[in-house]
């Protein structure tokens, strides 16, 4: 979705939002399915019925709807190309004519630079299904999308969800905090989960916000989520601090403002990756954290924070393993974009550890590296193919540092502003 919205800005597309009502009920079943009717209800004296169409709750309902709507999209215009990287993306690029359809169950972003084509598509769509035209995208997947008047930038936020959570947990008028996690905080697993505390419910809600529009809380959420089976009041207090931070910074939004707009389908698009790791900061198992953020045309479209699977013996090794995992993330973006538009290569990867870059670029194999799992070495082949290229960046400018550890307020706020592209 974020990639599609970025394309709308730089290519000058109008992003329409459409919703199909009772989508799953449209599909024809491939197999005979019988249901037991609710207690007290019979049809012709029978307590069972044979379904003629799909029904919400069937395990195949979502798949059947996906295939049905895809047949319509691909048959409406033979120029559609389905992405082999993301099966929910359909694109037409025919000269200067562009259409991008991003689907999420029954929610559709339909972006194009031809209003007549859109009207014809929606008319045909409505003959097949009951479709509601919601206008220009302004709210999708619980994310509010706000467009600048000139159409050259947008912001994504989830303020409504944050307010609802704050009210639910009694934090609407909480004491402000400047970071989502206290620097140096080290928690240990509880002997057993305190099921009286809604810890898992809060973490799940925060994770969706972190994935959607607030990457600045991602590390804190991922760190606490590892205690989902062993939490107590300490962990719950730490989770509420994340929510307090969101309430304190409610006005902050993820901003997309590409440095260059007015691109054409032949314009090379720019993908950049920032990668980082800490080293053995977790006192419980001494594993390191990996963090990265992917930018497409100066817009943060992908990020993650996760614990590494093995213990690193040095900071160089931790950074090298982080580089491998981060490369997988940027390859997804590169492969998806390059299916339809040219991408500048090699893709720059910015890291702040020269030793890790040296191991990747020179296929070092010695007593310090020979034990490293072969899965982390795959990054070397993409360097050799010149699909990616490593560049050194000072730690003070490496924005992905925010995904690897709890930072002091000054450093955190600097990176959060860089990441969200807001003041």
**pLDDT score of 158 more than 60:** yes
Q: Which tokens go with 139?
A: 């709210």
126-131 contacts at long range (C-beta below 8 A, 24 or more positions apart):
128/26, 128/72, 129/20, 129/21, 129/23, 129/26, 129/69, 129/72, 130/20, 130/21, 130/22, 131/18, 131/19, 131/20, 131/21
Rounded to an integer, the average pLDDT of 377-381 is 91
Rounded to an integer, the average pLDDT of 53-68 is 94
Query: Do β-strands 347-351 and 254-256 pair in parallel, antiparallel, or remain unpaired?
Result: unpaired
Confidence (pTM): 0.92
Confidence band of 284 (pLDDT split at 50, 70, 90)? confident
Q: Which tokens go with 291?
A: 């963090």
Could you tell me the CA-to-CA distances from 196 to 102, 199, 223, 232, 236 in Å, in that order? 40, 9, 21, 9, 11
Q: How large a percentage of the chain has pLDDT more than 70? A: 100
Residue 380: Cβ within 10 Å count: 17
Rounded to an integer, the average pLDDT of 207-228 is 97
Residue identified by tokens 């195949």 is 60
Residue 86: Cβ within 10 Å count: 16
């Amino acid at each position: 979705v974020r990639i599609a919205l970025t394309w709308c800005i730089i290519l000058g597309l109008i992003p329409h939002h459409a919703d199909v009502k009772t989508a799953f009920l449209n599909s024809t079943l491939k197999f005979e399915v019988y249901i037991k009717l609710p207690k007290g209800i019979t049809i012709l004296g029978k307590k069972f019925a044979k379904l003629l169409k799909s029904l919400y709750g069937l395990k195949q309902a979502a798949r059947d709807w996906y295939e049905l709507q895809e047949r319509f999209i691909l048959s409406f215009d033979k120029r559609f190309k389905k992405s082999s990287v993301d099966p929910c993306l359909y694109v037409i690029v025919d000269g200067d004519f562009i259409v991008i359809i991003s689907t999420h169950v029954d929610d559709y972003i339909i972006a194009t630079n031809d209003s007549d084509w859109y009207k014809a598509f929606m008319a045909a769509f409505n003959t097949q299904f009951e479709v509601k035209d919601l206008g220009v995208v302004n709210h999708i997947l619980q994310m509010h999308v706000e467009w600048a008047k000139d159409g050259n930038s947008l912001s994504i936020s989830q303020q409504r969800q944050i307010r609802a959570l704050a009210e639910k947990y009694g934090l609407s008028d909480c004491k402000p905090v400047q970071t989502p996690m206290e620097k140096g905080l080290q928690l240990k697993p509880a002997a057993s989960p305190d099921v009286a505390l809604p810890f898992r419910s809060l973490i799940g809600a925060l994770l969706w916000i972190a994935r959607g529009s607030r990457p600045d809380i991602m590390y804190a959420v991922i760190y606490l989520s590892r205690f989902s089976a062993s939490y107590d009041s300490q962990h719950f207090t730490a989770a509420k601090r994340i929510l307090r931070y969101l309430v304190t910074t409610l006005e902050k939004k993820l901003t997309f403002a590409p440095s260059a707009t007015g691109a054409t389908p032949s314009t090379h698009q720019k993908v950049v990756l920032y990668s980082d790791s800490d080293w053995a900061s977790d006192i419980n198992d001494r594993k390191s954290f990996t963090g990265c953020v992917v930018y497409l045309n100066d817009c943060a479209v992908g990020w993650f924070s996760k614990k590494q699977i093995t213990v690193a013996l040095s900071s160089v090794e931790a950074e090298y393993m982080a580089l491998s995992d981060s490369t997988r993330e940027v390859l997804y973006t590169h492969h998806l974009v390059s299916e339809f538009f040219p991408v500048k290569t090699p893709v720059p990867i910015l890291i702040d550890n020269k030793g890790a870059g040296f191991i990747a670029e020179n296929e070092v194999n010695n007593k310090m590296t020979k034990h490293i799992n072969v899965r982390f070495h795959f990054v070397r082949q993409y360097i050799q193919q010149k699909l990616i290229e490593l560049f050194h960046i000072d730690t003070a400018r490496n924005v992905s540092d925010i995904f690897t550890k709890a930072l002091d307020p000054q450093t955190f706020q600097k990176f959060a502003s860089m990441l969200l592209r807001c003041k």
